[in-house]
């Protein structure tokens, strides 16, 4: 693989926001912008491009079928909402009409194909339609196949070195509690984004043509074990971007400060948030990034490339997703004050049930396009930690977090603190050598540049931009490619937002 690099000075040193401290991040990057230029490759076949998607067909077919059916019933002969969700059993008229089962299968295939095509996965849409027995004789199916082929041919390959990566921390639900003047308020104001701001951001970004992709679309590991640039094909004018959210553990220190408390499954199996209001009422709804984005994509499927959502960067020391799943809660060994208080207040705490429920939520998320990355178990600074310390930490992540979230090949560095400067990682770097041998291929730091991407045969690396109070207040011009800060700013934020350091 031949990849040419160039770099140039740009912008300020990246500033990052972290859950417990405000520090300068991406300093090693120094605002350097590194681009790669892959040698052009021949157009991929339909089958090769199809390998970029990770969602099973039956999962996507089931998602939002009612919405799609309502929108497209006239043009594609979609069934009613109830039929759209069936498993294929013939209706009451099947005995009189032997073709009804095949007709319903064609309708289901058209419905599923529309969803794939809406998310630019034209190859998968075509394959789904071709599964229908006798599809060549179905005019609607053949017309759809021709349409999807034409739309695919009109797509353009987006430059991978121009894909930005934005990130958030847990969203503020009640600003009056988060910004109440206590010792946490300034940090929340700097590092957090409110629900209102997030909702406005994604709407504006959608209107501007942004589309969610994954680092796994930007680079892929070949059968020979070497990293290769991916190919992202989108209609002209669409702008791929990556989104991640850090520290989605709903840490103990956040209790009562106006944040959600955990991710849960509602009665329909959808991922929502639990939130406890000021009166102690337990509410279930869209109170953080995951359910808000899920609902937005349900109504705007073209905001997602091949079903992609975002990446959750997860620690483990307080558990995951709001569930107290770390082994300390089971053994009672090395508890901190918050953990001890939690167990005292929950004498009926069931560790096994906690782990089981967390895994159910994580599994549901992965089925609908979400990914998980290591944020290190203990939110460690990878720049200042030794390779041995990082190994010890990662082993605990693998032991206590991976059984719930699943394995991952991605590290999103806590504090944005990278294991090297802007130059390429090499095996002479003991930290990289450890992570690589442990199965990690994707690495993300924090950098102030609009985009910062590095791909070699051994790894993928990308800089991230924090969309929070600090960045919006002090450097609004650095976000102008995404949105106008004046249009998203939550007036409940105290000003001025404190500076870092």
| Bridge pairing between strands 453-455 and 460-462 | antiparallel
| Residue 236, pLDDT score | 98
pLDDT tens digits, 220-229: 999 999 999 9
Instruction: Report CA 491 to chain centroid distance, whole Å.
Output: 27
Cα separation of 315 and 400, whole Å?
10
| Residue 98, pLDDT score | 52
Q: Does the pLDDT value for residue 115 go beyond 70? A: yes
Q: In terms of pTM, does the model score above 0.85?
A: no
**Is the distance from CB of 240 to CB of 211 less than 8 angstroms?**
yes
Q: Does the pLDDT value for residue 73 go beyond 70? A: no
| Residue 71, pLDDT score | 33
| CATH T-level assignment (fold) for domain 3-37+163-252+285-488 | TIM Barrel (3.20.20)
- Weakest mean pLDDT among 31-45, 108-122, 353-367, 372-386: 31-45
Cα separation of 17 and 26, whole Å?
11
For the record, the structure tokens of 204 come out as 């504006």
Range 191-214 average pLDDT: 98
User: 3-state secondary structure string, 338-386?
Assistant: HHHHHHHHCCCCCHHHHHHHHHHHHHHHHHCCCEEEECCCCCCCCCCCC
**Percent above pLDDT 90 for the chain:** 79
Which residue ranges make up each domain of the chain?
Answer: 3-37+163-252+285-488, 54-118+121-154
Q: Does the pLDDT value for residue 464 go beyond 90? A: yes
Question: In the block, which residue shows the tokens 């102690």?
Answer: 280
| Residue 256, pLDDT score | 96
| Residue 83, pLDDT score | 30
Q: Sorting pLDDT into bands at 50, 70 and 90, what band is 20?
A: very low
pLDDT tens digits, 25-62: 333 333 333 333 333 333 333 333 333 334 444 444 44
Query: How many residues appear in the chain?
Result: 501
Range 403-422 average pLDDT: 97
């Amino acid at each position: 693989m031949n990849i040419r690099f160039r770099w140039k000075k740009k912008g300020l040193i990246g500033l990052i926001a972290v859950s417990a401290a405000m520090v300068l991040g991406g300093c090693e990057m120094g605002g350097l912008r590194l681009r790669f230029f892959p040698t052009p490759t021949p157009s991929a076949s339909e089958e090769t491009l199809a390998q970029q998607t990770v969602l099973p067909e039956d999962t996507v077919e089931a998602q939002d079928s009612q919405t799609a059916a309502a929108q497209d019933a006239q043009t594609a002969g979609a069934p009613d909402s109830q039929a759209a969700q069936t498993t294929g059993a013939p209706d009451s008229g099947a005995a009189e009409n032997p073709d009804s089962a095949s007709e319903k299968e064609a309708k289901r295939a058209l419905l599923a194909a529309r969803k794939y095509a809406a998310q630019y996965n034209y190859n998968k849409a075509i394959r789904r339609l071709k599964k229908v027995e006798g599809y060549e004789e179905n005019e609607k199916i053949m017309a759809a196949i021709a349409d999807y082929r034409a739309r695919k041919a009109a797509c353009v390959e987006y430059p991978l070195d121009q894909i930005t990566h934005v990130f958030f921390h847990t969203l503020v639900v009640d600003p009056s509690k988060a910004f109440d003047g206590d010792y946490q308020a300034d940090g929340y104001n700097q590092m957090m984004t409110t629900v209102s701001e997030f909702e406005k951001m994604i709407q504006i970004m959608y209107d501007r043509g942004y589309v969610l992709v994954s680092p796994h679309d930007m680079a892929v590991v070949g059968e020979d074990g070497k990293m290769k640039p991916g190919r992202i094909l989108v209609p002209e004018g669409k702008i791929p971007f990556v989104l991640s959210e850090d520290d989605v553990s709903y840490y103990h220190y956040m209790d009562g400060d106006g944040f959600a408390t955990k991710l849960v499954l509602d009665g329909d199996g959808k991922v929502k948030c639990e939130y406890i209001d000021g009166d102690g009422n337990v509410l279930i709804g869209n109170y953080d990034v995951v359910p808000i984005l899920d609902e937005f994509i349900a109504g705007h499927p073209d905001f997602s490339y091949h079903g992609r959502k975002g990446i959750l960067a997860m620690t483990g020391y307080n558990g995951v997703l709001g569930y107290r799943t770390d082994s300390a809660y089971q053994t009672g060994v090395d508890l901190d004050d918050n953990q001890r208080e939690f167990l005292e207040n929950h004498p009926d705490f069931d560790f096994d049930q906690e782990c089981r429920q967390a895994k159910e939520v994580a599994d549901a998320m992965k089925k609908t396009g979400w990914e998980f990355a290591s944020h290190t178990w203990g939110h460690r600074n990878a720049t200042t930690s030794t390779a041995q310390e990082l190994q010890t930490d990662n082993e605990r992540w693998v032991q206590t977090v991976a059984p719930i979230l699943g394995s991952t090949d991605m590290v999103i560095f806590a504090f944005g603190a990278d294991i090297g400067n802007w130059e390429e990682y090499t095996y002479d770097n003991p930290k990289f050598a450890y992570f690589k041998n442990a199965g990690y291929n994707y690495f993300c730091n924090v950098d102030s540049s609009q985009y910062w991407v590095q791909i070699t045969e051994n790894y993928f690396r990308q800089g991230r931009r924090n969309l929070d109070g600090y960045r919006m207040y002090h450097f609004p011009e650095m976000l102008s490619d995404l949105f106008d800060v004046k249009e998203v700013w939550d007036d409940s934020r105290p000003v001025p937002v404190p500076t870092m350091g």
